[in-house]
Structure 1
């Protein structure tokens, strides 16, 4: 390209832009009119320039994104376990239609009573990653090893801390950490089988903002590191088995920056552990949010899921689960149409939008780089506060985590009640649907899954 192509255009400084904006505002207050106060507590300006990159560690932020090994991502579908034969048929059908990996949610099913041979018939785990969501992790692994004599791909996706945060239990048992240690040792020879999931879903779905989600998720990860190293495992053993699972909300640019900030902060934590694996192991699985979904106008959920999925891929996810638009309906039955649309969102972004061709596509954006650093800085401060309290388990026991998230939830709710528009929830909703309004009562002593639209339904 001819480097002289744009010489005829003058360089515009930020001061010049500001002067023009003030002129166009004709006396209106700049901050009140154009500066956005985010729910995370910092100002977001309408215009960023190259000079805004001078005061942030841009090189360190971008270097952290390079630990993503591929420009693409895994299209990972979540299905609910029914029976061995029925679930096996579903898996094979979806694998033929563009799905790369499957999460099987066993719910409360007792793994010891399930026929895993029938469930995985004609599915070779060395080629197809299968992820198992179950509380019976050791039992599942023992049964798998009876008939799988190769290196499987996939992993276990139950976060034991999330279970604790979402239950009335007053303590997390030491046997939980012993069990986790045993699983890591048993899968030592399975390098592509992840056994520790650190998920942000419990924080996100309780109402946490992006800063809280980052800080508490990282604090959970550090808790795993500390507990397991105390049991004799090395940092490298733990890191090689760890994967983050992150909810992606509707705030498009903030969510892109959130994932980039997570990689940056994880590399920062790695410095204190003196492990080179932190730099190359930050596996991030993303799942579109149910927190913002509507039951009054469920088709709007499709649009939200699409922008959320785009945020995930632009932010550099390693795998993506797009939830069907009708997964929050009271019938509990996801339609074939909803499943197909959810599956195709990821395929469209690869095959037609070509978003899988560039690593860290947001790099260099003055706005997103600044947003990444703002999120990272605020999240780091909150993370350190949690650590000074004794870690996330102690902070949760003291009620700090629940209280902070409740403040964030109420702030989000207040903004909707005061006029912020959420399509299909508080405006532009289907008015001819008869719904019986019910009072929503939340248990604020634990982290409950909830949807912000429930208040308006």
Structure 2
């Protein structure tokens, strides 16, 4: 290289430029005859086929690429200064049922980096149930309960978040009553006390409208309308469904509220979107950006102004991909998920405790989850750069495809009668159930790897699932003897209704009294919360619970190079389900292998070697093993297509290979051992 100054350095002149076609040809040459599209392109659950490389040509004709942070359509975030002015809100969710204990936890966390009072409301409260269960979440029956929970919590400095169904109208008014008693102006309340009408079996848009009207008058900075897209991902939905359903739900809610007299620029700022953060790092970044674009486009069609096209995105790490075995891996999963959330420029975020699949978070688990966010901010300095993903051809291409696919799904839902009909008919559950089944099957067959579960499982790992804290019991609510006749008189006047509710709370009314006075009956819609590894883990747990752990003896035949690959594969295959393995250094002769199998008394053996050696080994081994007093189940590692029938005839019972469904195969093995699970 010629001697040049740093400023004169021109890499283009020093290195030969190559075209995309030349790169592709080099890859094809390296594939040695394998199909380029099959090897180098990846299909996702979202319906997107990923290319191995992206260029600026993939983004031709995308006008939104010229926008910057704080400009419509806001894919780069709502604020022009990104996180440099203010970081995302560390909003770890608190789910302690007891109000006094929750208060102690909140005060402790707020001194250690927590930035919001994100309180999970107990399902018993949301349902206004007559019995309490062991469910997690704050139980609120009266203003006294909320006062205990928020004692010394300075809501002038931090936002509050309570998300739920139509019963949130009571909690919204309860919060107003608390604020008045603590001499806090209602217009200083920030955060979200918000209702997703589709959490109820029958959406109640009248109640939602009253919440929004009261919120506009009393607490304009407190969001009241929830778009909970997290629940769809927890059922097994992909990013495409999560986005399509949130925008379809938003379209329905906007239409209903406008029909009742609301103005688009009054109601749009009242929305908060809750998104999940899953394992597919780049897809999750793109999903967040796509969500902002979809919202901006929807509000634009309603004639909303620039400010209304912004939406607060609250993100929470996924529950669908979390494991019970090797729970420490969950800590790594939530790290990449929260990383994606920050790069995607979420407004607030919660990270689940690494062992949340097993038990409520203790102080250690809560501290780790909280500190993951603090490290991203304070040590990794993501608050020092605006939109770090901007200009990435791959991510921007994903954004475009997600927007296109999700918008088309939304249009299809509208064509079929709209989102309410789509949910009421069961079609939503049907679509997501089918996708969840596909995702679970991919884990069961080990085509999708879940570290510590279906690959690289720790044989010494055991489960310690926390037992239910307390049995169900009747709710002890003392009737306050308060005249609530005014409530019925003001049921249709949101402002007067809330004034009356505030007074009733302050006079000692209970949740059930007020619900009864308002004829507020609750039936929550069922949204099953699944885990993609649940079937694999259930099988392993059942096998490990047997009085005597079943053993599989690996018959490693020949030299190490002959059997190691298949022995390693077989070990991972069986350990996924909790089988105990005998994995010897190897056998030189069939006689030695048969003798060892007899001495081990293992109920199953797995022959591991090469296809070439199998032709000689399999007939001899099968004949000898079948003659043993307790003949074992014979498994063969591999699937030599032209020999399968011959090997079955020789005595092979089961074949394990890369295309086999490991979950179903291991179930078959344990059943052949005489154990019905």
Normalised to the residue count of structure 1, the TM-score between the two structures is: 0.90
SS of residue matched to 2:93: strand
Listed as ranges, the matches of 1:108-123 within 5 Å are 108-109=124-125, 111-115=140-144, 116-123=146-153
Where relative contact order (Cα < 8 A, 6+ residues apart) is larger, the structure is: 1
1:5: which partner in 2? 10
Listed as ranges, the matches of 1:104-143 within 5 Å are 104-107=119-122, 108-109=124-125, 111-115=140-144, 116-135=146-165, 136-143=167-174
**C-alpha distance in structure 2 between counterparts of 1:244 and 1:264, whole Å:** 13
TM-superposed deviation, 1:360 = 2.0
TM-superposed deviation, 1:401 = 1.1
Equivalent position to 1:37, from 29, 43, 50: 43
TM-superposed deviation, 1:261 = 0.9
Residues 164, 196 of structure 2: 8 Å contact kept: no
Q: Judging changes above 3 Å, is the alpha-carbon distance between structure 1 residues 61 and 382 closer, same or farther for their aligned structure 2 residues? A: farther
TM-superposed deviation, 1:130 = 1.3
SS of residue matched to 1:307: helix
Q: Does 1:405 align with 2:432?
A: yes
2:196: which partner in 1? 159
Listed as ranges, the matches of 1:352-431 within 5 Å are 352-420=379-447, 421-431=449-459
Q: Judging changes above 3 Å, is the alpha-carbon distance between structure 1 residues 3 and 360 closer, same or farther for their aligned structure 2 residues? A: farther
Q: Judging changes above 3 Å, is the alpha-carbon distance between structure 1 residues 38 and 144 closer, same or farther for their aligned structure 2 residues? A: closer
Residues 226, 274 of structure 2: 8 Å contact kept: yes
Listed as ranges, the matches of 1:12-23 within 5 Å are 12-23=18-29
Residues 272, 314 of structure 2: 8 Å contact kept: yes
**C-alpha distance in structure 1 between counterparts of 2:311 and 2:411, whole Å:** 20
Q: Judging changes above 3 Å, is the alpha-carbon distance between structure 1 residues 66 and 31 closer, same or farther for their aligned structure 2 residues? A: closer
Residues 88, 118 of structure 1: 8 Å contact kept: yes
1:87: which partner in 2? 102
Residues 92, 116 of structure 2: 8 Å contact kept: yes
Q: Does 1:275 align with 2:304?
A: yes
**C-alpha distance in structure 2 between counterparts of 1:3 and 1:220, whole Å:** 56
Q: Does 1:186 align with 2:214?
A: yes
Listed as ranges, the matches of 1:187-266 within 5 Å are 187-188=215-216, 189-266=218-295
Residues 111, 139 of structure 1: 8 Å contact kept: no
Residues 77, 345 of structure 2: 8 Å contact kept: no
Q: Does 1:50 align with 2:56?
A: yes
Which has the larger displacement, 270-279 or 390-399? 270-279
**C-alpha distance in structure 1 between counterparts of 2:240 and 2:307, whole Å:** 21
TM-superposed deviation, 1:61 = 7.2
TM-superposed deviation, 1:4 = 4.7
SS of residue matched to 2:446: coil
TM-superposed deviation, 1:319 = 0.6
Residues 13-56 of structure 1: per-residue CA shift (max 9 Å, x gap)? 32222122122222221111111111222210111112222144
**C-alpha distance in structure 1 between counterparts of 2:7 and 2:220, whole Å:** 48
**C-alpha distance in structure 1 between counterparts of 2:417 and 2:103, whole Å:** 44
TM-superposed deviation, 1:390 = 1.9
Residues 14, 48 of structure 1: 8 Å contact kept: no
Normalised to the residue count of structure 2, the TM-score between the two structures is: 0.62
Residues 246, 284 of structure 1: 8 Å contact kept: yes
Residues 61, 260 of structure 1: 8 Å contact kept: no
Residues 405-453 of structure 1: per-residue CA shift (max 9 Å, x gap)? 12211221222223321112212223234679xxxxxxxx953111111
Residues 51-94 of structure 1: per-residue CA shift (max 9 Å, x gap)? 22214444277642245223221110101143332211111111
Q: Judging changes above 3 Å, is the alpha-carbon distance between structure 1 residues 449 and 433 closer, same or farther for their aligned structure 2 residues? A: same
Work out which of the two has the higher radius of gyration on C-alpha atoms and give 1 or 2. 2
Residues 67, 282 of structure 1: 8 Å contact kept: no
Q: Judging changes above 3 Å, is the alpha-carbon distance between structure 1 residues 145 and 274 closer, same or farther for their aligned structure 2 residues? A: same
SS of residue matched to 2:440: helix
**C-alpha distance in structure 2 between counterparts of 1:213 and 1:57, whole Å:** 25
Q: Which runs of 5+ in 1 are unaligned?
A: 437-444
2:115: which partner in 1? 100
**C-alpha distance in structure 2 between counterparts of 1:138 and 1:225, whole Å:** 18
**C-alpha distance in structure 2 between counterparts of 1:320 and 1:125, whole Å:** 18
**C-alpha distance in structure 2 between counterparts of 1:404 and 1:313, whole Å:** 30
2:510: which partner in 1? none
1:442: which partner in 2? none
SS of residue matched to 1:111: coil
TM-superposed deviation, 1:3 = 7.2
Residues 252-308 of structure 1: per-residue CA shift (max 9 Å, x gap)? 111111111111111111221111146652111100011110011111111110101
TM-superposed deviation, 1:157 = 4.2
Equivalent position to 2:372, from 345, 348, 362: 345
Count, aligned residues: 438
Residues 249, 292 of structure 1: 8 Å contact kept: yes
**C-alpha distance in structure 2 between counterparts of 1:111 and 1:87, whole Å:** 12
Equivalent position to 2:78, from 68, 87, 91: 68
Q: Judging changes above 3 Å, is the alpha-carbon distance between structure 1 residues 194 and 73 closer, same or farther for their aligned structure 2 residues? A: same
TM-superposed deviation, 1:216 = 0.6
SS of residue matched to 1:356: helix
**C-alpha distance in structure 1 between counterparts of 2:22 and 2:164, whole Å:** 58
**C-alpha distance in structure 1 between counterparts of 2:172 and 2:349, whole Å:** 24
Residues 153, 192 of structure 1: 8 Å contact kept: yes
TM-superposed deviation, 1:314 = 0.9
SS of residue matched to 1:343: helix
2:655: which partner in 1? none
Residues 270, 278 of structure 1: 8 Å contact kept: no
SS of residue matched to 1:127: coil
Q: Which runs of 5+ in 2 are unaligned?
A: 1-5, 126-138, 465-524, 538-677
Residues 73-128 of structure 1: per-residue CA shift (max 9 Å, x gap)? 11101011433322111111111000111211121236342522232222221211
